[in-house]
Amino acid sequence: MPRAAIATLVMAVCLPGCVHTQKPVRFDGPAALALEVLARELEALGVETADMDEPAGVLETRWQDTGFLYGFVGEQEATLFRRYVVVLQRRPADTGLTLRADVRACPRSAGHTTGRLPAACKPVDGLVDSHQQELKRLGAELQRALARLRPSPEASAGIQLAVAVPDLRAPPDLLGPAEKVQLSGYLASRLTETGRFRVVPRAELEAAIARTQRDSYSQSHSAESQIELGRAVAARKLLSVQLLRAGGACKLSGTIFDLTEAAAEAAASVDTGCGPDALPAGIDALVRALVDRLPNR
């Protein structure tokens, strides 16, 4: 019997037991969720984005060879390729998300490493059990990550606490002044996305520094001087972030101070690469860790 005929027979026997109707994962996320934010959260979970259609609210990840053997395509042994698709349904109070998988059976080859779909693939209707479990697990992890971006009760009621975010502190051989400003702006943006804070504009911080004429501020960056700076712009909170060397890598350490009590309210540190290209992912992780530690009040 020809190999193709054998493959058809094997798949006909195997499919009822190996592949089942896919069960997409559905959950709610923050209101006005941007695809760029969703992409960052997915990439933090190790899933790389390929395409985004913001008007349609559709995000697609890169194709991956799962290594799961699945019959033949023509005369070649096949493996399952998979990508994830997230569809957003934007509503006034929140965003509905549907996470599903696209699956293709493609000729087996060690050369498929570009994240694109090889030629001569065939669609697969359904998911094998292990891939359904992976879809469910990714959905749960993404839901937890996006839950950290939901507004707190204060934000939901229209009350956002003003937070001052001075420039990130770092050794001069790791980051130059321009890189510090750029990353500090990114940090402020990510903090705003949590819905818990209104970040004091950078211009207000610079004006406060000029008013207090603290020439030593830019040199010492002491906690005391930063707290005074936060009070000078009528902030309720202050986030101080420092980049530290840790062996061959680095750590980002962050502390949120409650300025009404002059006391640390939350602190966290995360591992990160030391270069400017690696630090945005470290900042993402630090913001998530800090929000997790904030009291829900």
Give 13-58 pLDDT, tens digit per residue.
Answer: 344 347 899 999 999 988 778 888 899 899 989 999 999 998 899 9
Q: Is residue 9 part of a domain?
A: no
* C-alpha span between 131 and 120 (Å, rounded): 22
Give one DSSP letter per residue of the chain, joined into a string: --HHHHHHHHHHHHHHHHEE----EEEEE-TT--HHHHHHHHHHTT--EEEEETTTTEEEEPPEEEEEEEEEETTEEEEEEEEEEEEEEE-SS-EEEEEEEEEEEEE--TT--SSSPPSS-EE--SEEHHHHHHHHHHHHHHHHHHHTTSPPHHHHTT--EEEE-PPPB--TTT--HHHHHHHHHHHHHHHHHTSSEEEPPHHHHHHHHHHHT-TTHHHH--HHHHHHHHHHTT-SEEEEEEEEEETTEEEEEEEEEETTTTEEEEEEEEEE-SSTTTHHHHHHHHHHHHHHHS---
* 108 within a domain of the structure (yes/no): yes
What is the average pLDDT across 237-245? Answer: 89
**Residue 227 scores a pLDDT above 70:** no
Q: How far is 269 from 203, CA to CA, in rounded Å? A: 28
Assess if residue 184 is contained within a domain: yes
129/159 same-domain check: no
Q: Is 10 a member of any domain?
A: no
What is the percent of the chain where pLDDT is above 90? 33
Domain harbouring 289, CATH code = 3.40.50.10610
Examine the fold and report which residue of 120, 147, 174 is the final residue of a domain before the chain moves on: 147
Is 11 contained in some domain? Answer: no
Q: Are residues 281 and 219 in the same domain?
A: yes
Residues 165 and 203 in one domain: yes
Residue 214 inside a domain? The answer is yes
Specify if 3 maps to a domain: no
157 burial level (CB within 10 Å; 0-12, 13-18, 19+) = exposed
CATH number of the domain residue 27 falls in: 3.30.530.50
Shared domain check, 237 and 266: yes
- Asked whether residue 95 falls in the same domain as residue 175, the answer is no
* 269 pLDDT above the threshold of 60: yes
Taking only the tens place, the pLDDT of each residue in 104-155 is: 999 987 555 567 788 889 999 999 999 999 999 999 999 998 887 765 554 4
| 100 located within any domain | yes
Given a cut of 60, whether residue 4 has pLDDT beyond it is: no
- Please give the tally of structural domains in the chain: 2
Are residues 73 and 127 both part of a single domain?
yes
Same domain, 39 and 168: no
pLDDT at 232: 59
Model pLDDT, residue 84: 98
- Judgement on whether residues 207 and 288 belong to the same structural domain of the protein: yes
Q: Please, what is the Cα angle at 110 between 107 and 115, to 5 degrees?
A: 80
Do 139 and 235 fall within a single domain? no
Find the radius of gyration of the CA atoms of the chain: 24
Check: CB of residue 143 under 8 Å from CB of residue 135.
Answer: no
- What's the average model confidence in pLDDT over 265-291? 87
Query: 288: pLDDT confidence band, cut at 50, 70 and 90?
Result: confident
Q: What is the pLDDT of residue 219?
A: 41
Residues 122, 216 within the same domain: no
Domain span at residue 163 reads 153-293
Q: Whole-model pTM?
A: 0.56
Q: Between residues 99 and 171, which one has the greater pLDDT?
A: 99
pLDDT higher than 90, residue 234 = no
Identify which has the larger pLDDT, 258 or 254.
254
Mean pLDDT, residues 207-223 taken together: 54
Q: In this structure, what are the phi and psi dihedrals at residue 258, rounded to the nearest 5 degrees?
A: -90, 110
Give yes or no: residues 117 and 166 share one domain: no
Q: Identify the domain boundary among 91, 117, 147.
A: 147
Residues 169 and 262 in one domain: yes
Domain boundary among 90, 123, 147: 147
The 10s digit of each residue's pLDDT in 142-200 is 999 888 776 555 444 445 667 888 888 899 889 998 999 899 988 988 888 777 778 87
